[in-house]
């Protein structure tokens, strides 16, 4: 019985790593940065990965227990990755918790605002939230984020159609626009 538990954890690790890699690959697709006004900066990449994870988590929220467990492991991997990145950028140990708290707050704030717009299928509200989050300093001069909002709604529909086996095995893929 105990050995089965450890085997399951090891299998979950492989599944989580495979799924997290697929999600980060999708978030790094050049089309977002080249054609959809996503800034190719550390913060822009954080924002884009947050969007991909939010879409994935909205899908796994409707999954069986194993899909939700994998999703929890992926969010843990995401924040471990963020912690590692902060340290690589030269933030010392005393400053890491403060930065992590700020980034976690940003992530969960986006989750709420994007979820409301996605639930309502309101492209304009979603584009406005994206504009605010991706280009906070630009104000009215910020570029339109309509293409990204449109993609998010399409990606969410495509994720809803993904078979549960793909979720449970870490094989779910988020379609990205063609380069």
pLDDT at 31 (0 to 100): 97
pLDDT at 87 (0 to 100): 65
Q: Which long-range contacts (CB under 8 A, 24 or more apart) does 101-108 make?
A: 103/46, 104/79, 106/46, 106/50, 107/50
pTM for the whole thing? 0.84
C-alpha neighbours within 13 Å on the C-beta side of residue 37? 19
How do the domains of the chain map onto residue ranges?
2-168
Q: What is the pLDDT along the chain (179 residues), one digit of tens a residue?
A: 444 433 445 558 899 999 999 999 999 999 999 999 999 998 899 899 999 999 999 999 988 767 778 888 888 888 787 776 766 766 666 766 777 677 777 888 888 999 999 999 999 999 999 999 999 888 888 999 999 999 999 999 999 999 999 999 999 999 998 76
């Amino acid at each position: 019985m105990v050995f089965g538990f450890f085997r399951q954890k090891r299998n979950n690790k492989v599944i989580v790593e495979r799924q997290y890699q697929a999600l980060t690959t999708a978030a790094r697709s050049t089309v977002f940065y080249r054609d959809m006004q996503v800034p190719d900066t550390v913060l822009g990449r954080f924002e884009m990965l947050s969007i991909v994870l939010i879409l994935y988590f909205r899908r796994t929220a409707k999954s069986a227990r194993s899909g939700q467990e994998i999703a929890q492991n992926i969010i843990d991997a995401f924040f471990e990755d963020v912690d590692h990145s902060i340290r690589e950028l030269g933030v010392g140990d005393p400053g890491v918790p403060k930065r992590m708290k700020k980034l976690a707050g940003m992530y969960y704030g986006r989750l709420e605002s994007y979820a409301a717009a996605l639930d309502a299928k309101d492209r304009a509200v979603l584009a406005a939230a994206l504009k605010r989050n991706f280009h906070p300093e630009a104000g009215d001069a910020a570029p339109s984020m309509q293409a990204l909002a449109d993609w998010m709604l399409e990606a969410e529909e495509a994720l809803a159609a993904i078979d549960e086996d793909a979720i449970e095995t870490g094989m779910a893929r988020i379609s990205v626009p063609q380069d």
